[in-house]
């Protein structure tokens, strides 16, 4: 078997290694924790009716997300190249085909498309840093906060400028490679974000509507428990939940594979994955628990969409003692969280251009960044000039989001599980996961049967 040769002659990465296991966990956590947890999870859960959606999301995270994440890391570490080259190399090495590189290509495209709108929303958080600091939210009414948001996103020049600023910051870090400073940033940012989420949670618990928020998030209609036809959860919602699990964990597009390429041999892939999945899911749930009581306390609509966080949290901060301070810090931290994620979103494309076209990191990130910046204007305009131009899934922004979260990520995840479970031989995966014990067997059952069949089943049901 060719694969055994790879197992013995371990490859070195072309881009340097993480300084430690902790550094790797921090980097992956930094990529996972972002707008997906705090901005996207609450509004998607709100649009899909709460409880039943949250349950499906949690099940998808454990049963599909976790094994896919482990697969991506192990593939990345074994290949030690950019996702495109890694898939091609391992595909050949495992006696299959170099065409597996298309999985990497799909990831490069998916990541770039996600970043095109991610940067726009991250631009909003930058804008909200300034708004918070200016004190406009102090004692503001629901209507005032809502109007503030509508005016803000209604002006394409302002949010276009914020998007430009955010992309520039992202390109700046990516140019400099795997950065020590980034590890430091994540080490501080994630705990600080956690503390501020707890402050918000405390406020929500005292809003008098905590019970209502809790029940919105966790109570499941009787009809769904018995799988009766009256259950309001549609296959579209199930696909949205699956897509959200992929999106928030940064999986399905080779980003984690790219990070895995820099992982030292002796790090436990299972342990690292479990840590990241726990932190990421915990922060999303916390965000939901902080936001939904505020939604109900202020008579807002949980299905309001992408503006949800920007219309609830400033309201809460505006009524808190020290609100200007907390609110400013919160949006600074959220911008940081988005920044560390954006870097991860660009990494597969940049690593690929560097290796494939023989460019410097700076050239590659300017090229890719410029392209993504340009595409991002489609999303900038979706909230103002082109707000009424809708097709298929909605505005241009809605379509890019649907195409990436609901199609590209699950499809990428499906192909990754098939590759790790069926194409790679047992020896290769057992070698990377470091055992052939019970845990390994469980992973293999999940990755060979449960995850691919589950993804396929959901995709087919939702699309037909």
In angstroms, give the least distance from the CB of 117 to ligand TRP.
Answer: 11
Q: Which stretch binds ligand TRP (CB under 6 A): 176-184, 249-257, 308-316, 445-453?
A: 249-257
Interacting residue with ligand TRP among 56, 114, 315, 364 (CB under 6 A): 114
Residue choice 3, 34, 257, 333 for contact with ligand TRP (CB under 6 A): 34
Find, among 102, 90, 105, the residue nearest to 422 by Cα. Answer: 90
Q: Is 341 in the site for ligand TRP (CB under 6 A)?
A: yes
In the chain, % helix, strand, coil (3-state, to 5) comes to: 80, 0, 20
Q: What is the DSSP string of 41-69?
A: HHHHHHHTTSHHHHHHHHHHIIIIIHHHH
Closest CA to 369 of 172, 135, 219, 89: 172
By CB under 6 A, tell whether 344 contacts ligand TRP: yes
Q: Which is nearer to ligand TRP, 174 or 458 (CB)?
A: 174
Question: Does residue number 239 form part of the binding site for ligand TRP (CB under 6 A)?
Answer: no
31 binds ligand TRP (CB under 6 A): yes
Minimum distance, C-beta of residue 247 to ligand TRP, in the bound complex (Å): 5
Of the residues 250, 281, 406, 428, which one makes contact with ligand TRP according to CB under 6 A:
250
- Distance from C-alpha of 442 to C-alpha of 240, rounded to nearest angstrom: 26
**Which one, 31 or 382, has the nearer CB to ligand TRP?**
31
CB-based contacts of 405, cutoff 8 Å, min separation 6: 114, 240, 243, 244, 246, 247
Exactly one of 294, 345, 380, 433 binds ligand TRP (CB under 6 A); that residue is 345
Distances (CA, A) of 328 to 131, 190, 196, 334: 8, 16, 11, 10
Q: Are 448 and 421 in contact (CB under 8 A)?
A: yes
Q: With 0-12 CB in 10 A as exposed, 13-18 as middle and 19+ as buried, what is 271?
A: exposed
For residue 230, which phi and psi values (nearest 5 degrees)? -75, -10
* Nearest to ligand TRP of 255, 279 (CB atom): 255
According to CB under 6 A, which residues from 306 to 335 bind ligand TRP? none
Joined tokens for residue 377: 């204007």
C-alpha angle 360/364/369, rounded to 5°?
150
For residues 9-32, b (16+ Cβ closer than 10 Å) or e, as one string?
eeeebebebbeebebbbbbbbbbb
Whichever of 281 and 384 has its CB closer to ligand TRP, that residue is 281
Query: Which residue of this chain has its Cβ atom nearest to ligand TRP in the complex?
Result: 36
Question: Does residue number 247 form part of the binding site for ligand TRP (CB under 6 A)?
Answer: yes
User: Distance (Å, rounded) from C-alpha 26 to C-alpha 457?
Assistant: 33
Q: Give the C-alpha separation, 409 to 60, whole Å.
A: 13
Q: Is 394 helix (H, G, I), strand (E, B) or coil?
A: strand
Using CB under 6 A as the binding rule, whether residue 46 contacts ligand TRP is answered as: no
Region from 70-78, 250-258, 415-423, 440-448 binding ligand TRP, contact rule CB under 6 A: 250-258
Which residue lies nearer to ligand TRP by CB, 89 or 245? 245
Q: Which is nearer to ligand TRP, 44 or 140 (CB)?
A: 44
Residue nearer to ligand TRP on the CB measure, 189 or 297: 189
- Which residue, 6 or 129, has its beta carbon nearer to ligand TRP? 129
Q: Is the dihedral of CA 45, 326, 338, 21 positive or negative?
A: negative
Counting contacts by CB under 6 A, is residue 248 touching ligand TRP? Answer: yes
Taking the least distance from each CB to ligand TRP, the nearer of 348 and 378 is: 348
List the one residue from 255, 353, 380, 424 that touches ligand TRP (CB under 6 A). Answer: 255
Least distance from C-beta 34 to ligand TRP, angstroms? Answer: 3
Integer Cα distance of 29 and 52 in angstroms: 26
Please, which residue, 253 or 332, has the CB nearer to ligand TRP?
Answer: 253
Binders of ligand TRP among 58-97, rule CB under 6 A?
none
Note whether 36 binds ligand TRP by CB under 6 A: yes
Q: Where are the alpha helices (DSSP H) in 135-208?
A: 142-154, 156-175, 180-205
Site for ligand TRP in 164-203 (CB under 6 A): none
Phi, psi angles (nearest 5°) of residue 394:
135, -135
Q: Binding to ligand TRP by residue 37, rule CB under 6 A?
A: yes
Q: Which is nearer to ligand TRP, 430 or 455 (CB)?
A: 455
Q: How far is the CB of 461 from ligand TRP (least distance, A)?
A: 24
Neighbour count for residue 358 (Cβ, 10 Å)? 9
Binding site for ligand TRP (CB under 6 A): 31-32, 34-37, 111, 114, 247-248, 250, 253, 255, 341, 344-345
């Amino acid at each position: 078997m060719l694969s055994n040769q790879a197992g013995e002659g371990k490859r070195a990465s072309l881009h340097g290694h993480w300084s430690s296991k902790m550094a790797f966990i921090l980097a992956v956590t930094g990529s996972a924790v972002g707008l997906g947890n705090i901005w996207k999870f609450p509004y998607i859960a709100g649009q899909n009716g709460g409880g039943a959606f949250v349950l499906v999301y949690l099940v998808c995270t454990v049963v599909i997300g976790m094994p896919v994440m482990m697969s991506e890391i192990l593939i990345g570490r074994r290949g030690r190249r950019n996702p495109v080259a890694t898939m091609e190399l391992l595909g050949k090495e495992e006696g299959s085909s170099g065409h597996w590189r298309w999985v990497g290509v799909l990831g490069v495209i998916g990541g770039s498309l996600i970043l095109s709108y991610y940067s726009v929303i991250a631009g909003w958080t930058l804008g909200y840093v300034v708004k918070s600091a200016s004190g406009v939210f102090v004692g503001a009414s629901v209507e005032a906060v809502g109007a503030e948001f509508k005016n803000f996103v209604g002006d394409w020049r302002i949010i276009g400028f914020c998007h430009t600023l955010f992309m520039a910051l992202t390109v700046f870090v990516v140019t400099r490679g795997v950065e020590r400073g980034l590890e430091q940033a994540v080490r501080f940012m994630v705990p600080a974000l956690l503390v501020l989420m707890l402050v918000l949670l405390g406020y929500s618990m005292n809003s008098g509507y905590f019970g209502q928020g809790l029940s919105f998030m966790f109570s499941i209609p009787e009809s769904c428990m018995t799988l009766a036809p009256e259950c309001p959860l549609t296959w579209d919602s199930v696909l949205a939940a699956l897509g959200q699990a992929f999106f928030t964990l940064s999986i399905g597009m080779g980003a984690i594979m790219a990070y895995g390429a820099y992982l030292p041999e002796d790090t436990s892939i299972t342990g690292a994955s479990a840590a990241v999945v726990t932190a990421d899911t915990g922060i999303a749930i916390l965000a939901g628990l902080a936001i939904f009581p505020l939604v109900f306390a202020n008579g807002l609509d949980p299905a309001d969409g992408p503006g949800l966080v920007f219309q609830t949290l400033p309201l809460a901060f505006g009524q808190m003692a020290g609100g200007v301070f907390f609110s400013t810090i919160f949006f600074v931290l959220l911008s940081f969280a988005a920044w560390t994620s954006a870097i991860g979103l660009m990494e597969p494309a940049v690593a690929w251009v560097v290796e494939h076209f023989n460019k410097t990191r700076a050239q590659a990130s300017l090229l890719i960044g410029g392209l993504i910046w340009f595409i991002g204007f489609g999303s900038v305009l979706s909230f103002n000039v082109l707000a009424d131009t809708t097709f298929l899934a909605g505005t241009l922004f809605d379509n890019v989001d649907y195409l990436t979260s609901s199609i590209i990520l699950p499809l990428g995840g499906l192909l990754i599980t098939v590759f790790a479970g069926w194409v790679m031989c047992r020896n290769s995966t057992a070698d990377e996961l470091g055992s052939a014990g019970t845990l390994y067997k469980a992973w293999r059952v999940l990755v060979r049967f449960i995850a691919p069949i589950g993804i396929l089943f959901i995709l087919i049901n939702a699309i037909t």
